[in-house]
Structure 1
Amino acid sequence: MQKLFTVFSILILMLAVSTSSIAQTIFTEDFESGSAHPDWEAFFPNEEIVTAVSMATPPDSLASGGDYVGWLQDLDTSYTGVAVSINGETSLYDYSVEADVYCYVNHPDGSAYTGVVVYADSSIGTYIKMAADFDPVPYPRIRLYNNHFDLGTFTYTFEHSFTESDIPGGIPTENGWHNLKIEVRTINADITAFWCYWDGVELLGCPVTDTSSHRMSSGQFGLFSFSQGTGEGIPGYYDNLVVESLISSVEDNSNGTLPEEFALEQNYPNPFNPSTQISYKISTGNHVSLAIHDLLGREIKTLVSGFQSAGNYSVTWNGKDELGNTVPSGVYLYSLHSGGFVISKKMMLMK
Protein backbone atom coordinates (compact mmCIF):
# COMPACT_ATOMS: atom_id res chain seq x y z
CA MET A 1 0.00 0.00 0.00
CA GLN A 2 2.84 2.38 0.87
CA LYS A 3 4.47 1.66 -2.49
CA LEU A 4 1.23 2.42 -4.33
CA PHE A 5 0.83 5.65 -2.37
CA THR A 6 4.39 6.65 -3.26
CA VAL A 7 3.90 5.96 -6.96
CA PHE A 8 0.61 7.89 -6.91
CA SER A 9 2.30 10.84 -5.19
CA ILE A 10 5.00 10.94 -7.85
CA LEU A 11 2.46 10.81 -10.69
CA ILE A 12 0.53 13.69 -9.15
CA LEU A 13 3.79 15.62 -8.75
CA MET A 14 4.74 15.04 -12.38
CA LEU A 15 1.39 16.44 -13.51
CA ALA A 16 1.75 19.42 -11.20
CA VAL A 17 5.25 20.16 -12.45
CA SER A 18 4.09 20.26 -16.07
CA THR A 19 1.37 22.81 -15.33
CA SER A 20 2.49 24.85 -12.34
CA SER A 21 6.24 25.36 -12.15
CA ILE A 22 7.82 28.72 -12.86
CA ALA A 23 11.57 28.77 -13.34
CA GLN A 24 12.97 31.81 -11.56
CA THR A 25 16.74 32.29 -11.77
CA ILE A 26 18.19 32.83 -8.30
CA PHE A 27 21.94 32.39 -8.92
CA THR A 28 24.36 32.33 -11.83
CA GLU A 29 28.13 31.90 -12.03
CA ASP A 30 30.30 32.04 -15.16
CA PHE A 31 33.54 33.17 -13.46
CA GLU A 32 34.07 35.84 -16.13
CA SER A 33 34.91 38.46 -13.52
CA GLY A 34 38.13 36.52 -12.95
CA SER A 35 37.04 35.43 -9.48
CA ALA A 36 34.35 33.23 -7.97
CA HIS A 37 31.27 34.66 -6.23
CA PRO A 38 32.19 35.62 -2.65
CA ASP A 39 29.38 33.53 -1.12
CA TRP A 40 30.98 30.19 -2.03
CA GLU A 41 32.07 28.21 1.01
CA ALA A 42 33.61 24.83 1.77
CA PHE A 43 31.37 21.99 2.89
CA PHE A 44 34.21 20.53 4.97
CA PRO A 45 36.11 22.68 7.49
CA ASN A 46 39.34 24.28 6.26
CA GLU A 47 38.97 22.87 2.77
CA GLU A 48 39.29 24.27 -0.74
CA ILE A 49 36.64 26.56 -2.25
CA VAL A 50 35.90 26.84 -5.96
CA THR A 51 37.98 29.54 -7.62
CA ALA A 52 38.29 31.02 -11.10
CA VAL A 53 41.13 29.96 -13.39
CA SER A 54 42.00 30.66 -17.01
CA MET A 55 40.14 28.71 -19.70
CA ALA A 56 43.59 27.50 -20.75
CA THR A 57 43.82 25.46 -17.51
CA PRO A 58 41.40 22.56 -18.28
CA PRO A 59 42.64 19.83 -20.65
CA ASP A 60 40.10 21.09 -23.22
CA SER A 61 38.48 24.50 -23.57
CA LEU A 62 34.70 24.89 -23.47
CA ALA A 63 33.26 26.15 -26.75
CA SER A 64 30.42 28.01 -25.00
CA GLY A 65 32.72 29.41 -22.31
CA GLY A 66 34.62 32.64 -21.94
CA ASP A 67 38.06 33.45 -20.55
CA TYR A 68 37.60 31.76 -17.15
CA VAL A 69 36.17 28.59 -15.60
CA GLY A 70 35.68 27.37 -12.04
CA TRP A 71 38.25 25.03 -10.52
CA LEU A 72 37.81 22.80 -7.44
CA GLN A 73 40.22 20.18 -6.08
CA ASP A 74 41.09 18.48 -2.78
CA LEU A 75 44.79 19.24 -3.10
CA ASP A 76 45.91 17.83 0.25
CA THR A 77 43.54 14.79 0.10
CA SER A 78 42.55 15.52 3.70
CA TYR A 79 39.04 14.35 2.80
CA THR A 80 40.21 11.35 0.75
CA GLY A 81 40.08 13.28 -2.48
CA VAL A 82 36.62 14.83 -2.01
CA ALA A 83 36.08 18.55 -2.54
CA VAL A 84 32.63 20.18 -2.20
CA SER A 85 31.86 23.88 -2.55
CA ILE A 86 28.39 25.10 -1.55
CA ASN A 87 26.33 28.27 -1.86
CA GLY A 88 22.86 29.57 -0.98
CA GLU A 89 20.79 28.93 2.13
CA THR A 90 20.03 25.61 3.85
CA SER A 91 16.32 26.54 3.75
CA LEU A 92 16.31 26.53 -0.06
CA TYR A 93 14.05 23.87 -1.62
CA ASP A 94 12.45 22.95 -4.96
CA TYR A 95 15.11 24.14 -7.36
CA SER A 96 17.35 23.06 -10.23
CA VAL A 97 21.13 23.24 -10.67
CA GLU A 98 22.66 23.17 -14.14
CA ALA A 99 26.32 23.52 -15.14
CA ASP A 100 28.85 22.61 -17.78
CA VAL A 101 31.20 20.12 -16.10
CA TYR A 102 34.44 18.58 -17.32
CA CYS A 103 34.02 14.80 -17.01
CA TYR A 104 36.72 12.13 -16.88
CA VAL A 105 36.49 8.73 -18.55
CA ASN A 106 38.50 5.81 -17.11
CA HIS A 107 41.16 8.04 -15.55
CA PRO A 108 44.55 6.22 -15.57
CA ASP A 109 45.39 7.24 -12.00
CA GLY A 110 42.18 5.98 -10.39
CA SER A 111 38.59 6.96 -9.79
CA ALA A 112 37.76 10.51 -10.89
CA TYR A 113 34.23 11.94 -10.55
CA THR A 114 32.87 15.46 -11.06
CA GLY A 115 29.34 16.78 -10.71
CA VAL A 116 26.82 19.09 -9.07
CA VAL A 117 25.36 19.16 -5.57
CA VAL A 118 21.87 19.79 -4.14
CA TYR A 119 20.29 19.82 -0.66
CA ALA A 120 23.57 20.22 1.21
CA ASP A 121 23.80 21.12 4.89
CA SER A 122 27.24 21.02 6.49
CA SER A 123 25.75 21.43 9.98
CA ILE A 124 24.28 17.92 9.74
CA GLY A 125 26.94 16.56 7.38
CA THR A 126 24.79 15.66 4.38
CA TYR A 127 24.79 16.47 0.67
CA ILE A 128 23.48 14.81 -2.50
CA LYS A 129 25.38 14.87 -5.77
CA MET A 130 24.87 13.94 -9.40
CA ALA A 131 28.26 12.79 -10.62
CA ALA A 132 29.78 11.35 -13.80
CA ASP A 133 31.43 8.07 -12.69
CA PHE A 134 32.86 6.60 -15.86
CA ASP A 135 35.22 4.09 -14.23
CA PRO A 136 35.09 0.62 -15.83
CA VAL A 137 34.71 -1.01 -12.38
CA PRO A 138 32.08 -1.94 -11.46
CA TYR A 139 30.65 -0.24 -14.58
CA PRO A 140 30.49 3.28 -16.05
CA ARG A 141 27.44 5.24 -14.95
CA ILE A 142 25.98 8.54 -13.83
CA ARG A 143 25.34 8.39 -10.09
CA LEU A 144 22.90 10.19 -7.82
CA TYR A 145 23.81 9.56 -4.19
CA ASN A 146 24.42 11.04 -0.76
CA ASN A 147 27.60 10.92 1.32
CA HIS A 148 26.49 8.39 3.96
CA PHE A 149 28.20 5.06 3.36
CA ASP A 150 26.84 2.04 5.23
CA LEU A 151 29.69 -0.33 6.02
CA GLY A 152 27.19 -3.08 6.84
CA THR A 153 25.69 -3.14 3.37
CA PHE A 154 28.67 -1.51 1.62
CA THR A 155 26.30 0.92 -0.08
CA TYR A 156 25.22 4.51 0.37
CA THR A 157 21.99 5.02 2.28
CA PHE A 158 20.62 6.75 -0.83
CA GLU A 159 22.00 5.89 -4.26
CA HIS A 160 20.76 5.47 -7.82
CA SER A 161 22.84 4.58 -10.87
CA PHE A 162 21.94 5.54 -14.43
CA THR A 163 23.58 2.94 -16.65
CA GLU A 164 24.42 3.13 -20.35
CA SER A 165 20.90 2.18 -21.42
CA ASP A 166 19.49 5.07 -19.33
CA ILE A 167 21.75 7.69 -20.92
CA PRO A 168 20.72 9.02 -24.35
CA GLY A 169 23.76 8.68 -26.57
CA GLY A 170 25.36 6.20 -24.18
CA ILE A 171 28.54 6.52 -22.11
CA PRO A 172 31.17 8.90 -23.53
CA THR A 173 34.46 7.33 -24.54
CA GLU A 174 36.69 10.37 -23.99
CA ASN A 175 37.17 13.08 -21.41
CA GLY A 176 35.26 16.24 -22.16
CA TRP A 177 32.74 18.91 -21.25
CA HIS A 178 29.12 17.90 -20.63
CA ASN A 179 26.03 19.66 -19.33
CA LEU A 180 24.68 18.24 -16.05
CA LYS A 181 21.36 19.29 -14.57
CA ILE A 182 19.41 18.10 -11.55
CA GLU A 183 15.97 19.18 -10.40
CA VAL A 184 15.02 18.47 -6.80
CA ARG A 185 11.59 18.79 -5.23
CA THR A 186 10.36 18.05 -1.72
CA ILE A 187 7.06 16.22 -2.17
CA ASN A 188 6.08 15.76 1.46
CA ALA A 189 7.56 14.93 4.86
CA ASP A 190 8.72 11.51 3.62
CA ILE A 191 9.70 11.88 -0.04
CA THR A 192 12.22 13.96 -1.97
CA ALA A 193 12.27 13.53 -5.77
CA PHE A 194 15.01 14.11 -8.33
CA TRP A 195 15.08 14.57 -12.11
CA CYS A 196 18.50 14.26 -13.75
CA TYR A 197 19.56 15.51 -17.21
CA TRP A 198 22.63 14.80 -19.31
CA ASP A 199 23.45 17.16 -22.17
CA GLY A 200 19.92 18.54 -22.06
CA VAL A 201 18.06 15.21 -22.11
CA GLU A 202 16.29 13.64 -19.12
CA LEU A 203 17.80 10.34 -18.00
CA LEU A 204 15.58 7.27 -18.08
CA GLY A 205 14.20 6.22 -14.70
CA CYS A 206 13.35 9.71 -13.44
CA PRO A 207 12.03 10.76 -11.08
CA VAL A 208 14.23 9.06 -8.50
CA THR A 209 12.91 9.25 -4.94
CA ASP A 210 14.71 9.35 -1.61
CA THR A 211 12.88 8.01 1.44
CA SER A 212 16.00 7.07 3.41
CA SER A 213 16.85 8.02 6.97
CA HIS A 214 19.24 10.66 5.61
CA ARG A 215 16.63 12.22 3.30
CA MET A 216 16.94 15.98 2.95
CA SER A 217 13.99 18.35 2.45
CA SER A 218 16.06 21.49 1.72
CA GLY A 219 19.64 22.63 1.47
CA GLN A 220 22.36 24.48 -0.40
CA PHE A 221 23.53 23.87 -3.97
CA GLY A 222 27.11 23.34 -5.05
CA LEU A 223 29.90 21.61 -6.98
CA PHE A 224 31.61 18.25 -6.42
CA SER A 225 34.99 16.76 -7.27
CA PHE A 226 36.41 13.39 -6.19
CA SER A 227 39.47 11.33 -6.94
CA GLN A 228 40.83 8.19 -5.36
CA GLY A 229 44.33 7.14 -6.26
CA THR A 230 45.69 10.31 -7.89
CA GLY A 231 47.48 11.46 -4.72
CA GLU A 232 46.05 14.98 -4.72
CA GLY A 233 42.43 14.75 -5.71
CA ILE A 234 41.30 15.56 -9.24
CA PRO A 235 40.82 19.04 -10.69
CA GLY A 236 37.13 19.66 -11.31
CA TYR A 237 36.25 22.32 -13.90
CA TYR A 238 32.85 24.05 -14.11
CA ASP A 239 31.21 26.83 -16.07
CA ASN A 240 27.84 28.44 -16.82
CA LEU A 241 26.24 27.49 -13.51
CA VAL A 242 22.53 28.39 -13.26
CA VAL A 243 20.28 27.77 -10.25
CA GLU A 244 16.53 28.23 -10.68
CA SER A 245 13.68 28.14 -8.18
CA LEU A 246 10.85 25.77 -9.11
CA ILE A 247 8.29 27.09 -6.65
CA SER A 248 4.79 26.95 -8.11
CA SER A 249 2.45 29.93 -8.32
CA VAL A 250 -1.33 29.71 -8.07
CA GLU A 251 -1.97 31.72 -11.21
CA ASP A 252 -0.39 28.84 -13.16
CA ASN A 253 -2.20 26.04 -11.27
CA SER A 254 -4.82 24.65 -13.65
CA ASN A 255 -5.43 21.24 -12.09
CA GLY A 256 -8.31 22.45 -9.87
CA THR A 257 -6.94 20.97 -6.64
CA LEU A 258 -7.19 24.19 -4.62
CA PRO A 259 -10.51 24.80 -2.83
CA GLU A 260 -12.68 27.44 -4.47
CA GLU A 261 -12.59 29.81 -1.50
CA PHE A 262 -8.89 29.46 -0.73
CA ALA A 263 -7.32 32.43 -2.48
CA LEU A 264 -4.31 34.70 -2.33
CA GLU A 265 -4.60 38.01 -4.15
CA GLN A 266 -1.80 39.84 -5.91
CA ASN A 267 -0.35 42.40 -3.55
CA TYR A 268 -1.24 46.04 -4.15
CA PRO A 269 0.50 48.18 -5.10
CA ASN A 270 3.03 46.13 -7.03
CA PRO A 271 5.79 47.17 -7.50
CA PHE A 272 5.68 48.99 -4.16
CA ASN A 273 7.61 51.33 -1.92
CA PRO A 274 7.63 51.41 1.05
CA SER A 275 4.62 49.18 1.91
CA THR A 276 2.08 46.92 0.21
CA GLN A 277 -1.19 45.21 1.09
CA ILE A 278 -1.76 41.44 0.78
CA SER A 279 -5.32 40.09 0.79
CA TYR A 280 -6.42 36.47 1.06
CA LYS A 281 -9.46 34.28 1.66
CA ILE A 282 -9.85 30.98 3.54
CA SER A 283 -12.95 28.77 3.37
CA THR A 284 -12.64 26.97 6.71
CA GLY A 285 -11.11 27.77 10.05
CA ASN A 286 -7.54 26.51 10.29
CA HIS A 287 -3.99 27.38 11.26
CA VAL A 288 -2.82 29.99 8.76
CA SER A 289 0.69 31.12 7.92
CA LEU A 290 1.60 33.99 5.61
CA ALA A 291 5.35 34.48 5.20
CA ILE A 292 7.75 36.32 2.91
CA HIS A 293 10.94 34.80 1.49
CA ASP A 294 13.67 36.01 -0.82
CA LEU A 295 14.54 34.10 -3.98
CA LEU A 296 17.19 32.04 -2.17
CA GLY A 297 14.50 30.64 0.12
CA ARG A 298 15.47 32.68 3.18
CA GLU A 299 12.54 33.67 5.35
CA ILE A 300 12.34 37.46 5.61
CA LYS A 301 9.18 38.08 7.61
CA THR A 302 6.22 36.12 9.01
CA LEU A 303 3.12 38.28 8.72
CA VAL A 304 0.54 35.78 10.01
CA SER A 305 0.91 32.63 12.11
CA GLY A 306 -2.06 31.29 14.03
CA PHE A 307 -5.65 30.05 13.87
CA GLN A 308 -8.08 32.06 11.74
CA SER A 309 -11.79 31.54 11.08
CA ALA A 310 -13.17 31.37 7.55
CA GLY A 311 -13.29 34.77 5.89
CA ASN A 312 -11.47 37.52 4.05
CA TYR A 313 -8.28 39.00 5.46
CA SER A 314 -5.80 41.69 4.59
CA VAL A 315 -2.37 42.47 5.99
CA THR A 316 0.24 45.13 5.24
CA TRP A 317 3.97 44.51 4.82
CA ASN A 318 6.20 47.50 5.42
CA GLY A 319 9.22 46.13 3.58
CA LYS A 320 11.10 45.22 6.76
CA ASP A 321 12.47 41.94 8.11
CA GLU A 322 11.93 40.32 11.52
CA LEU A 323 14.57 42.60 13.07
CA GLY A 324 12.97 45.75 11.71
CA ASN A 325 15.60 46.30 9.03
CA THR A 326 14.45 47.59 5.64
CA VAL A 327 15.11 44.94 2.98
CA PRO A 328 16.81 45.81 -0.33
CA SER A 329 14.99 46.29 -3.62
CA GLY A 330 14.18 43.10 -5.48
CA VAL A 331 11.68 40.31 -6.09
CA TYR A 332 10.20 38.52 -3.07
CA LEU A 333 7.86 35.54 -2.65
CA TYR A 334 4.88 35.56 -0.30
CA SER A 335 3.29 32.24 0.59
CA LEU A 336 -0.02 31.37 2.22
CA HIS A 337 -0.28 28.02 4.05
CA SER A 338 -3.58 26.66 5.39
CA GLY A 339 -4.95 23.15 5.88
CA GLY A 340 -2.33 21.45 3.73
CA PHE A 341 -2.68 23.92 0.84
CA VAL A 342 -0.01 26.37 -0.25
CA ILE A 343 -0.14 29.34 -2.62
CA SER A 344 2.87 31.47 -3.52
CA LYS A 345 3.11 34.68 -5.52
CA LYS A 346 5.80 37.16 -6.42
CA MET A 347 6.05 40.86 -5.62
CA MET A 348 8.64 43.56 -6.26
CA LEU A 349 10.02 46.15 -3.88
CA MET A 350 11.37 49.04 -5.92
CA LYS A 351 13.06 51.99 -4.24
Structure 2
Amino acid sequence: IRVYKVAAVTSNYVYLISSFGLYTVNISDLNSPFYVQRIPGKRYGGVVVDNYAYTVDADGNLQIFDISDPANPTWVANSIYVSYILDAKISSNYLYLSTGDLLVLDITDPASPILEGSYTTPGTTGDIFISKGYVFSANGNTVGIYKFTASSVEQENQDLENAPRASSLEQNYPNPFNSFTVIRYQLLGRQLNHVTVKLYNLKGEEVITLIKGEQSAGSYQVIWDGKNESGEEMSSGIYLCILKVNNWQTSKKLIFLR
Protein backbone atom coordinates (compact mmCIF):
# COMPACT_ATOMS: atom_id res chain seq x y z
CA ILE A 1 0.00 0.00 0.00
CA ARG A 2 1.02 3.62 -0.45
CA VAL A 3 1.14 5.22 2.99
CA TYR A 4 0.41 8.96 3.18
CA LYS A 5 0.71 9.38 6.94
CA VAL A 6 1.31 7.54 10.19
CA ALA A 7 -1.77 8.51 12.22
CA ALA A 8 -0.58 7.08 15.54
CA VAL A 9 1.69 4.55 17.18
CA THR A 10 0.76 2.74 20.40
CA SER A 11 2.58 0.03 22.31
CA ASN A 12 1.15 -2.72 20.09
CA TYR A 13 -0.28 -1.03 16.99
CA VAL A 14 0.54 1.46 14.26
CA TYR A 15 -2.26 3.21 12.34
CA LEU A 16 -1.56 4.14 8.72
CA ILE A 17 -3.45 6.48 6.36
CA SER A 18 -3.54 5.54 2.68
CA SER A 19 -5.68 6.09 -0.39
CA PHE A 20 -7.33 2.74 0.35
CA GLY A 21 -8.28 3.35 3.97
CA LEU A 22 -7.06 3.50 7.55
CA TYR A 23 -4.91 0.43 8.25
CA THR A 24 -4.13 -1.13 11.62
CA VAL A 25 -0.87 -3.07 11.88
CA ASN A 26 0.12 -5.14 14.91
CA ILE A 27 3.71 -4.33 15.96
CA SER A 28 3.83 -6.22 19.26
CA ASP A 29 6.69 -8.14 17.65
CA LEU A 30 8.68 -5.58 15.68
CA ASN A 31 10.40 -8.34 13.76
CA SER A 32 7.08 -9.72 12.52
CA PRO A 33 4.46 -6.97 12.12
CA PHE A 34 1.18 -8.08 10.57
CA TYR A 35 -1.93 -6.49 9.12
CA VAL A 36 -4.97 -6.50 11.43
CA GLN A 37 -7.77 -4.66 9.63
CA ARG A 38 -8.68 -1.76 7.35
CA ILE A 39 -11.37 0.92 7.55
CA PRO A 40 -12.10 1.08 3.81
CA GLY A 41 -12.49 4.10 1.56
CA LYS A 42 -10.12 6.79 0.38
CA ARG A 43 -8.83 8.83 3.32
CA TYR A 44 -7.60 12.41 3.43
CA GLY A 45 -5.69 12.32 6.68
CA GLY A 46 -6.54 11.24 10.18
CA VAL A 47 -5.47 11.01 13.79
CA VAL A 48 -5.94 8.47 16.58
CA VAL A 49 -6.80 9.67 20.09
CA ASP A 50 -6.99 6.98 22.78
CA ASN A 51 -9.72 4.57 21.63
CA TYR A 52 -11.01 6.73 18.79
CA ALA A 53 -9.87 7.31 15.22
CA TYR A 54 -10.76 10.58 13.48
CA THR A 55 -10.37 10.29 9.72
CA VAL A 56 -11.60 12.23 6.68
CA ASP A 57 -13.52 10.36 4.00
CA ALA A 58 -13.65 11.06 0.26
CA ASP A 59 -16.51 13.54 0.77
CA GLY A 60 -14.55 15.61 3.29
CA ASN A 61 -16.48 14.44 6.36
CA LEU A 62 -14.63 13.94 9.63
CA GLN A 63 -15.63 10.41 10.63
CA ILE A 64 -15.22 8.94 14.11
CA PHE A 65 -14.53 5.25 14.74
CA ASP A 66 -14.30 3.37 18.04
CA ILE A 67 -11.08 1.33 17.86
CA SER A 68 -11.07 0.00 21.42
CA ASP A 69 -11.02 -3.39 19.69
CA PRO A 70 -8.38 -2.76 17.00
CA ALA A 71 -9.49 -5.80 15.01
CA ASN A 72 -13.12 -4.66 14.87
CA PRO A 73 -13.46 -0.86 14.60
CA THR A 74 -17.00 0.47 14.71
CA TRP A 75 -18.35 3.67 13.17
CA VAL A 76 -19.55 6.16 15.79
CA ALA A 77 -20.55 9.33 13.95
CA ASN A 78 -19.80 11.84 11.23
CA SER A 79 -18.65 15.19 12.59
CA ILE A 80 -17.81 18.44 10.78
CA TYR A 81 -16.74 18.95 7.16
CA VAL A 82 -12.97 19.53 7.04
CA SER A 83 -11.81 18.49 3.51
CA TYR A 84 -8.58 16.92 4.79
CA ILE A 85 -6.18 16.76 7.74
CA LEU A 86 -2.55 17.76 7.20
CA ASP A 87 -1.49 17.59 10.83
CA ALA A 88 -3.04 17.11 14.27
CA LYS A 89 -1.95 17.78 17.84
CA ILE A 90 -3.60 17.25 21.24
CA SER A 91 -3.38 19.53 24.26
CA SER A 92 -5.53 18.96 27.36
CA ASN A 93 -9.02 18.14 26.06
CA TYR A 94 -8.55 19.89 22.73
CA LEU A 95 -7.67 18.51 19.32
CA TYR A 96 -5.92 20.97 17.00
CA LEU A 97 -6.33 20.22 13.30
CA SER A 98 -4.39 21.63 10.38
CA THR A 99 -6.84 21.53 7.47
CA GLY A 100 -5.39 24.32 5.36
CA ASP A 101 -6.74 26.52 8.15
CA LEU A 102 -6.54 25.96 11.92
CA LEU A 103 -9.45 24.25 13.73
CA VAL A 104 -9.85 23.45 17.43
CA LEU A 105 -12.18 20.67 18.64
CA ASP A 106 -13.23 20.03 22.22
CA ILE A 107 -12.90 16.25 22.67
CA THR A 108 -13.92 16.02 26.32
CA ASP A 109 -16.41 13.53 24.91
CA PRO A 110 -14.23 11.96 22.20
CA ALA A 111 -17.24 10.40 20.48
CA SER A 112 -18.91 13.79 20.09
CA PRO A 113 -16.34 16.53 19.41
CA ILE A 114 -17.43 20.17 19.47
CA LEU A 115 -15.92 22.75 17.14
CA GLU A 116 -14.71 25.43 19.57
CA GLY A 117 -12.47 27.66 17.51
CA SER A 118 -10.97 28.29 14.10
CA TYR A 119 -8.77 30.74 12.28
CA THR A 120 -8.39 31.44 8.58
CA THR A 121 -4.62 31.55 8.17
CA PRO A 122 -2.89 33.81 5.61
CA GLY A 123 -1.48 30.77 3.83
CA THR A 124 -2.19 27.04 3.79
CA THR A 125 -1.54 25.70 7.28
CA GLY A 126 0.71 22.63 7.28
CA ASP A 127 2.57 21.31 10.32
CA ILE A 128 1.51 22.61 13.73
CA PHE A 129 3.24 22.56 17.12
CA ILE A 130 1.90 23.52 20.56
CA SER A 131 4.04 25.00 23.33
CA LYS A 132 3.30 27.12 26.42
CA GLY A 133 -0.29 27.76 25.40
CA TYR A 134 0.56 28.87 21.86
CA VAL A 135 0.03 27.17 18.52
CA PHE A 136 2.80 27.53 15.95
CA SER A 137 1.90 26.72 12.35
CA ALA A 138 3.70 26.63 9.03
CA ASN A 139 1.61 28.81 6.69
CA GLY A 140 3.43 28.55 3.40
CA ASN A 141 5.92 31.43 3.43
CA THR A 142 5.19 32.44 7.02
CA VAL A 143 4.99 30.98 10.51
CA GLY A 144 1.78 31.76 12.39
CA ILE A 145 1.60 32.11 16.17
CA TYR A 146 -1.87 31.69 17.67
CA LYS A 147 -3.39 31.58 21.14
CA PHE A 148 -6.54 29.58 21.79
CA THR A 149 -9.13 30.71 24.33
CA ALA A 150 -12.61 29.29 24.78
CA SER A 151 -14.61 29.66 21.55
CA SER A 152 -11.94 31.58 19.65
CA VAL A 153 -8.50 31.33 18.12
CA GLU A 154 -6.58 34.59 18.25
CA GLN A 155 -3.54 35.56 16.24
CA GLU A 156 -0.88 37.22 18.34
CA ASN A 157 -0.40 40.97 17.86
CA GLN A 158 -3.70 41.32 16.01
CA ASP A 159 -6.87 42.96 17.33
CA LEU A 160 -9.59 40.33 17.17
CA GLU A 161 -12.21 41.83 19.45
CA ASN A 162 -14.77 40.28 17.14
CA ALA A 163 -12.92 36.99 16.93
CA PRO A 164 -14.14 34.43 14.41
CA ARG A 165 -17.45 32.97 15.44
CA ALA A 166 -17.46 30.58 12.50
CA SER A 167 -14.92 28.27 11.03
CA SER A 168 -13.24 29.26 7.83
CA LEU A 169 -15.58 29.32 4.89
CA GLU A 170 -14.74 26.29 2.78
CA GLN A 171 -13.80 26.75 -0.86
CA ASN A 172 -16.86 26.01 -2.96
CA TYR A 173 -16.92 22.77 -4.94
CA PRO A 174 -16.75 22.40 -7.85
CA ASN A 175 -14.77 25.51 -8.70
CA PRO A 176 -14.83 26.61 -11.51
CA PHE A 177 -18.44 25.51 -12.14
CA ASN A 178 -21.05 25.96 -14.87
CA SER A 179 -24.33 24.71 -13.42
CA PHE A 180 -24.19 24.73 -9.63
CA THR A 181 -21.68 24.78 -6.79
CA VAL A 182 -21.83 23.78 -3.12
CA ILE A 183 -20.77 26.23 -0.39
CA ARG A 184 -20.02 24.73 3.03
CA TYR A 185 -19.33 26.42 6.38
CA GLN A 186 -19.44 25.70 10.11
CA LEU A 187 -20.57 27.72 13.12
CA LEU A 188 -18.95 27.71 16.55
CA GLY A 189 -20.04 27.91 20.14
CA ARG A 190 -23.28 27.02 21.82
CA GLN A 191 -25.33 30.12 21.09
CA LEU A 192 -27.45 31.26 18.18
CA ASN A 193 -25.61 33.36 15.60
CA HIS A 194 -26.97 35.81 13.04
CA VAL A 195 -25.71 34.44 9.73
CA THR A 196 -25.75 35.70 6.16
CA VAL A 197 -24.24 34.19 3.04
CA LYS A 198 -24.22 36.62 0.12
CA LEU A 199 -22.68 36.73 -3.34
CA TYR A 200 -21.24 39.85 -4.97
CA ASN A 201 -19.72 40.63 -8.35
CA LEU A 202 -16.30 42.28 -8.57
CA LYS A 203 -17.95 45.71 -8.75
CA GLY A 204 -19.21 45.16 -5.22
CA GLU A 205 -22.82 44.79 -6.35
CA GLU A 206 -24.90 42.26 -4.45
CA VAL A 207 -26.01 39.35 -6.65
CA ILE A 208 -28.03 37.19 -4.27
CA THR A 209 -28.57 36.40 -0.60
CA LEU A 210 -28.39 32.65 -0.06
CA ILE A 211 -28.71 32.55 3.73
CA LYS A 212 -30.11 35.08 6.20
CA GLY A 213 -31.22 34.20 9.71
CA GLU A 214 -30.33 32.65 13.05
CA GLN A 215 -28.33 29.42 13.12
CA SER A 216 -26.86 27.37 15.95
CA ALA A 217 -23.48 25.62 15.99
CA GLY A 218 -22.99 22.96 13.35
CA SER A 219 -22.08 22.25 9.75
CA TYR A 220 -24.09 23.77 6.91
CA GLN A 221 -24.12 23.89 3.14
CA VAL A 222 -25.96 25.88 0.49
CA ILE A 223 -26.09 25.55 -3.29
CA TRP A 224 -25.75 28.41 -5.77
CA ASP A 225 -27.03 27.82 -9.31
CA GLY A 226 -25.37 30.86 -10.89
CA LYS A 227 -28.52 33.01 -10.83
CA ASN A 228 -29.35 36.32 -9.17
CA GLU A 229 -32.29 37.20 -6.91
CA SER A 230 -34.54 37.57 -9.97
CA GLY A 231 -33.68 34.12 -11.29
CA GLU A 232 -31.55 35.48 -14.14
CA GLU A 233 -28.41 33.57 -15.00
CA MET A 234 -25.26 35.57 -14.34
CA SER A 235 -22.48 36.03 -16.85
CA SER A 236 -19.20 34.14 -16.62
CA GLY A 237 -16.72 35.63 -14.20
CA ILE A 238 -15.40 35.76 -10.66
CA TYR A 239 -17.83 36.26 -7.80
CA LEU A 240 -17.22 36.85 -4.11
CA CYS A 241 -19.01 34.74 -1.52
CA ILE A 242 -19.14 36.46 1.88
CA LEU A 243 -20.08 34.60 5.04
CA LYS A 244 -20.95 36.99 7.88
CA VAL A 245 -21.49 35.71 11.41
CA ASN A 246 -22.51 38.40 13.88
CA ASN A 247 -19.76 41.05 13.50
CA TRP A 248 -17.19 38.79 11.82
CA GLN A 249 -16.92 37.86 8.17
CA THR A 250 -14.78 35.95 5.71
CA SER A 251 -14.91 35.37 1.96
CA LYS A 252 -13.98 33.09 -0.94
CA LYS A 253 -13.78 33.67 -4.69
CA LEU A 254 -16.03 31.60 -6.96
CA ILE A 255 -15.45 31.14 -10.69
CA PHE A 256 -18.60 30.78 -12.82
CA LEU A 257 -18.23 29.54 -16.41
CA ARG A 258 -21.36 29.45 -18.58
Q: TM-score range with shorter-chain normalisation?
A: 0.3 to 0.5
Which has the larger Rg?
Answer: 1
Structure showing the higher helix proportion among its residues: 1
TM-score by length of 1: 0.28
Tell which has more relative contact order, 1 or 2 (C-alpha 8 A, sep 6+): 1
Give me the TM-score of the superposition, normalised by structure 2. Answer: 0.37
